[in-house]
C-alpha cells in the first residue's frame, strides 16, 4: 500500500488517524502548518491548505489522502482538490452529517461535489456532533462545576474522535469503500444536560446543568466566536435537537465489527481536560 497523506494531523481526529496508521505499520505523512506539533515518529511536512502551492512537497509520491477542510467556507478547495487529484488516487474526506438531509450541505456539500468530479476514488465520512465539542464547557466545569449553556434538552449521539479516525483508517486501508458516504455517530443519544452529568461522573465531581436563555447565549457566543452566522446556525441546530434528536447510527459497528465508543468512555479519556 502506498503512502497516505493526513491533513489536520495535529487536530482531534487527524492526530488519531496518524497514530493508528503508523501503529499498523503503514507509510504515513502528516501535513501541518507547524510540523513540530505532529505526533513523534511520523514524517511531517509543512504546508497550508489555504495556500495550495505549499502542498506540492506534501503530495509527492502519495497514493491516498485523508482530507479535512479547515474553516467554514469553501475558499480555495477547488485548487486543493485538483492538486490532490494530480498526484493521488484516493481521498477520504471528513465531511459532516446534516440532519434530515440526504446530502451534505454548505461548504461540506461543495467540497463533496468537487471531489466527486475530480476523478479521485472517494469515501465521505459524515459524522454527527463530535464529543470533543463539549470541551467548550471545560473551563466552566473546572471553575464552577456548572455548565450554563442553552438547550439542555437538545439530544445528540456524539462520536468519539478515535472512532472517526478508526473509520477513516478502515476506509483508507481496506477495499470496498469507493463511492461510499458513511453517516457515523456515537452509540447512544444523550441530552446536553445528560452529557454534563456524565462528565461529572467521569471526573468524580457533580456537574450541574443551568439553562441559559438563548438571547444571553447569543451575546456570549458572538463575543467568543465573532461570526454571527455561525452563532445563529449553532443556536438553531441545538434548538432543533430538542424536538428532533440526532439519531444514533449503526455504521461504526457495521464497519469496524465492534460497537462505537460511548460518551462515557470519551469523558473518561478526557477527564484531565475537565479537572
Ligand atoms: N465538531 C463537530 O461537531 C464536527 C462535525 C462534523 C464535521 N466536523 C468537521 O471536522 C473538522 C475538524 O476536525 P478536528 O476536530 O479533528 O479538527 P481540529 O481539532 O479543529 O483541528 C483542525 C486541524 O486542521 C489543521 N488546520 C487548520 N487550518 C489549516 C490550514 N490552513 N492548513 C492546514 N491545516 C490546517 C490544524 O492544524 P494546525 O496545527 O496547523 O492548526 C488542525 O490539525 C472540520 O472540518 C469540521 O468542519 C466537525
Residue nearest to atom 15 of ligand 1 (CA): 12
Measured from the Cα of 108, ligand 1's closest atom is 47
Q: What is the largest CA-CA distance in the chain?
A: 53
Measured distance CA(32)–CA(51) in Å, rounded = 12
Measured from the Cα of 97, ligand 1's closest atom is 6
Judging by DSSP bridges, how do beta strands 155-156 and 3-6 pair with one another? unpaired
Q: Which helix (H) or strand (E) holds 109?
A: helix 106-116
pLDDT tens-digit profile of 207-229? 999 999 999 999 999 999 899 99
Q: Cα–Cα–Cα angle for 8, 95, 75, nearest 5°?
A: 70
Check: pTM over 0.95? Answer yes or no: yes
pLDDT at 101: 64
pLDDT at 99: 74
**What residues flank ligand 1, with Cβ below 6 Å?**
7-14, 32-34, 37, 48-50, 68-70, 94, 96, 127, 129-130, 132-133
- Find, among 14, 12, 11, the residue nearest to 67 by Cα: 14
Q: Quick one: cell of 215?
A: 438571547
Average the pLDDT over 50-65 and give the result.
95
Indicate if the pLDDT at residue 240 is higher than 80.
yes
Measured from the Cα of 14, ligand 1's closest atom is 16
Q: Quick one: cell of 179?
A: 463511492
Q: How far is residue 212 CA from its own chain's centroid?
A: 26
Q: What are the percentages of helix, strand and coil residues in the chain, rounded to 5?
A: 45, 20, 35
Are 60 and 87 in contact by the 8 Å Cβ rule? The answer is: yes
Residue nearest to atom 20 of ligand 1 (CA): 11
Judging by DSSP bridges, how do beta strands 208-211 and 190-191 pair with one another? unpaired
To the nearest whole percent, how much of the chain has pLDDT over 90? 92
Indicate if the pLDDT at residue 42 is higher than 70.
yes
Q: 245: helix, coil or strand?
A: coil
Residue nearest to atom 39 of ligand 1 (CA): 10
Task: Please report the beta strands in the chain, taking only residues with DSSP state E, as ranges in sequence order.
Answer: 3-6, 28-32, 43-46, 62-67, 90-94, 121-127, 146-149, 155-156, 180-184, 190-191, 208-211
Q: Quick one: cell of 33?
A: 502548518
Measured from the Cα of 161, ligand 1's closest atom is 16
pLDDT at 98: 82
Structural domains in the chain plus CATH codes: 3-127 (3.40.50.720), 130-158+186-247+262-275 (3.40.50.720)
Hey, which of 7, 19, 20, 33 would you mutate to test ligand 1's pocket, going by the most ligand atoms within 8 Å of its Cβ?
33
Are 129 and 156 in contact by the 8 Å Cβ rule? The answer is: yes
Q: For residue 8, how far is its CA from the centre of ligand 1 (angstroms)? A: 6
Measured distance CA(153)–CA(211) in Å, rounded = 9
pLDDT tens-digit profile of 101-152? 667 778 999 999 999 999 999 999 999 999 999 999 999 999 999 999 999 9
Residue nearest to atom 24 of ligand 1 (CA): 8
Task: Please report the beta strands in 39-168, taking only residues with DSSP state E, as ranges in sequence order.
Answer: 43-46, 62-67, 90-94, 121-127, 146-149, 155-156
**Distances from the Cα of 257 to the Cα of 163, 260, 273, angstroms:** 12, 9, 30
Amino acid at each position: 500500500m502506498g503512502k497516505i497523506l493526513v491533513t489536520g494531523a495535529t487536530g482531534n481526529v487527524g492526530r488519531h488517524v496518524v497514530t493508528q496508521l503508523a501503529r499498523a505499520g503503514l507509510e504515513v505523512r502528516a501535513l501541518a502548518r507547524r510540523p513540530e506539533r505532529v505526533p513523534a515518529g511520523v514524517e511531517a511536512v509543512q504546508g497550508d491548505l489555504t495556500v495550495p502551492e505549499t502542498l506540492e512537497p506534501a503530495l509527492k509520491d502519495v497514493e491516498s489522502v485523508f482530507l479535512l477542510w479547515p474553516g467554514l467556507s469553501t475558499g480555495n478547495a477547488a485548487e486543493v482538490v485538483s492538486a490532490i487529484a494530480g498526484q493521488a488516487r484516493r481521498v477520504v474526506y471528513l465531511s459532516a452529517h446534516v440532519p434530515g438531509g440526504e446530502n451534505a450541505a454548505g461548504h461540506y456539500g461543495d467540497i463533496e461535489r468537487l471531489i466527486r468530479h475530480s476523478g479521485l476514488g472517494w469515501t465521505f465520512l459524515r459524522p454527527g456532533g463530535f464529543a470533543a465539542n463539549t470541551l467548550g464547557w471545560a473551563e466552566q466545569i473546572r471553575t464552577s462545576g456548572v455548565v450554563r449553556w442553552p438547550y439542555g434538552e437538545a439530544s445528540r449521539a456524539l462520536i468519539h474522535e478515535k472512532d472517526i479516525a478508526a473509520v477513516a483508517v478502515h476506509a483508507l486501508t481496506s477495499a470496498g469503500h469507493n463511492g461510499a458516504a458513511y453517516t457515523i455517530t456515537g452509540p447512544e443519544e444523550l441530552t446536553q444536560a445528560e452529557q454534563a452529568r456524565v462528565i461529572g461522573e467521569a471526573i468524580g465531581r457533580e456537574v450541574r446543568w443551568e439553562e441559559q436563555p438563548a438571547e444571553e447565549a447569543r451575546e456570549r457566543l458572538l463575543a467568543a466566536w465573532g461570526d454571527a452566522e455561525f452563532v445563529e446556525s449553532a443556536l438553531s441546530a441545538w434548538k432543533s435537537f430538542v424536538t428532533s434528536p440526532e439519531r444514533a447510527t449503526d455504521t461504526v459497528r457495521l464497519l469496524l465489527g465492534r460497537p462505537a465508543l460511548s460518551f462515557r468512555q470519551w469523558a473518561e479519556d478526557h477527564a484531565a481536560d475537565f479537572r
